[in-house]
Amino acid sequence: MKLTILGNNGGYPKGNGACSGYLLENEKVQVIFDLGSGTLSNLLSINDGTQLDAIFITHLHWDHISDLFVLQYLLEKRGQVLPLYLPRTPENIYDILSNIKNFDVHPIDDGDEVAIKNMKFSFKKMRHPVETYAIKAIDDRGHSCLYTGDTGICQELKDFAQDAHTLLCDCTYVNNPDENKHLSAEQAAEIAENAGVRHLILTHFDPEVNPRDYAIIAERILRRGRVTKSEIMLTFNI
């Protein structure tokens, strides 16, 4: 499978940047993980969206969903309906999204599994101020990619990350993480090292911080795998 970074900032995008959004695809399946501010434009520069199978949303914070609200106009124009998987809370935001007629909405629960052609997706609840899920994708060759969404440090993530080939990981703080919200570079690298991850891709950067600062810390800790800082439109083979 192939992973393309559509956005890598947390909260709000820096100039010419974009918030969380990722395209995961293989020869049969195309899905999106989150669709934050600026990511739809980046997607449309490489993919017209007509072959998308689904969009998976980790949680209903604006920096992960804001471009869904404009995507609806594109879908409406084409008469296209897209499966949209998302948490049930906060209810007021879930209700708005489930009333958009061009989305075929499926709520996510902890432990759920969804199969789309030759890929399987599973969901594990993480630690964040709103209901949020990490997503693990596995293809029919056994290759796996785990996207953490936003999360503070938790045992659920350490367990879920075991043996993932690629870990696309929240890395909001250089130092001093808020354990109820997000991970630091050090925590991301420790999780990857202990789980035997081959490739750690850091993302959800503070727009005021140089991504190099996170990578330098993570590279010191991760010995068994490699570290990459996400960059918009960068593509990785998994």
Q: What does the binding site for Zn ion look like in residue numbers (CB under 5 A)?
A: 10, 61, 63, 150
CB of 185 to Zn ion, least distance (A): 16
Cβ proximity to Zn ion: between 11 and 225 the closer is: 11
CB of 59 to Zn ion, least distance (A): 6
Exposed/middle/buried for 183, CB within 10 Å: 0-12, 13-18, 19+? Answer: buried
Per the CB < 8 A criterion, the answer to whether 123 and 110 are in contact is yes
Cβ proximity to Zn ion: between 207 and 225 the closer is: 207
CB of 10 to Zn ion, least distance (A): 4
Cβ proximity to Zn ion: between 1 and 33 the closer is: 33
CB of 150 to Zn ion, least distance (A): 4
CB of 62 to Zn ion, least distance (A): 8
Cβ proximity to Zn ion: between 7 and 10 the closer is: 10
The candidate with the shortest Cα–Cα distance to 19, out of 51, 42, 53, 44, is: 42
The whole-angstrom separation of Cα 223 and Cα 1 is: 24
Per the CB < 8 A criterion, the answer to whether 229 and 202 are in contact is yes
Cβ proximity to Zn ion: between 90 and 196 the closer is: 90
CA distances from 57 to 101, 133, 178 (A): 17, 8, 22
